[in-house]
Amino acid sequence: MLENVTATRMELLRLRKRVALATRGHRLLSEKRDEICRQLVQIARDIEPLRKRVEKELLRCSRRFMMARATMEPEDMRAAMEVPTKKFSLAINFSSIMSVKVPNLAKEISGDIMCYGFSTTSGELDVALRALERAFDSLIELAEKEKQAQLLAIELQMTRRRVNVLEHVVIPEQTETIKFIYSKLGEAERDNISRLMKIADIIRA
């Protein structure tokens, strides 16, 4: 590969500029990699207690529904849940973390989650539905954090690959090529000096 390099001063100048650019890119990408790692660690710390809270809330909700089913007739339970009057939608906005677009989720709810009469229903069903309603906030926050972590992890992997390519392939290869050109230019310089000295000897003779 080095044998095909044009050993000229113009090529040397071009390569030195490329090495300087690659070195600067390596530094910036390394800083980006480190910051993404920091952000991921912070999100991971947020996710762990959040997931435990979601699991606890959903378990409590599930138990309440089981108690409601135990205290109500099956047809009354079906009738109570048949016609929902509460509407739920999810608004998604995006923010940027180290040039990575990550989602920010927010729920939009209208209506009442309890859409039935109280004559044939159990109070446990009311408690279960309210518990489910409260669990929505934690579920949405958990989904948001986990998606952010997933996107940042993908970007981290790509950034690490770029840093490694620059550090172990691009910069060393170009640095080696620069050394080769310096060597060739030095040889040419010595040959020119030798020829000039021979010419000077011939003239003096």
- Backbone phi and psi for residue 5, each to the nearest 5 degrees, phi listed first: -75, 135
Q: Structurally, how many domains does the chain consist of?
A: 1
pLDDT of residue 201: 72
> Which has the higher per-residue pLDDT, 197 or 165?
165
pLDDT of residue 123: 78
Domain extent for 128: 2-198
Residue with tokens 């000897």: 201
Whether 170 has a pLDDT exceeding 90, the answer reads yes
Q: For the domain that residue 98 is a member of, what is the CATH number?
A: 1.10.287.3240
Give counts: helices (H), strands (E), the chain.
4, 2
pLDDT of residue 175: 92
Whether 47 has a pLDDT exceeding 90, the answer reads yes
The token pair that represents 113 in the structure block: 């989650």
Question: Amino acid identity, residue 25?
Answer: G
pLDDT of residue 117: 65
Q: Please, which pLDDT band fits residue 147 given cuts at 50, 70 and 90?
A: very high
Work out the angle at residue 170's Cα, subtended by the Cα atoms of residues 168 and 176, and round it to the nearest 5 degrees: 90
Looking at the domain assignment, is residue 38 inside a domain? yes
CA dist 194 and 192 (Å) reads 5
Looking at the domain assignment, is residue 37 inside a domain? yes
Looking at the domain assignment, is residue 7 inside a domain? yes
**Residues 40-56, mean pLDDT to the nearest whole number:** 92
Looking at the domain assignment, is residue 203 inside a domain? no
Looking at the domain assignment, is residue 205 inside a domain? no
Burial (Cβ within 10 Å: 0-12, 13-18, ≥19) of residue 173: middle
Q: Please, which pLDDT band fits residue 2 given cuts at 50, 70 and 90?
A: low
- Backbone phi and psi for residue 107, each to the nearest 5 degrees, phi listed first: -90, 150
Q: What is the DSSP letter of 104?
A: E
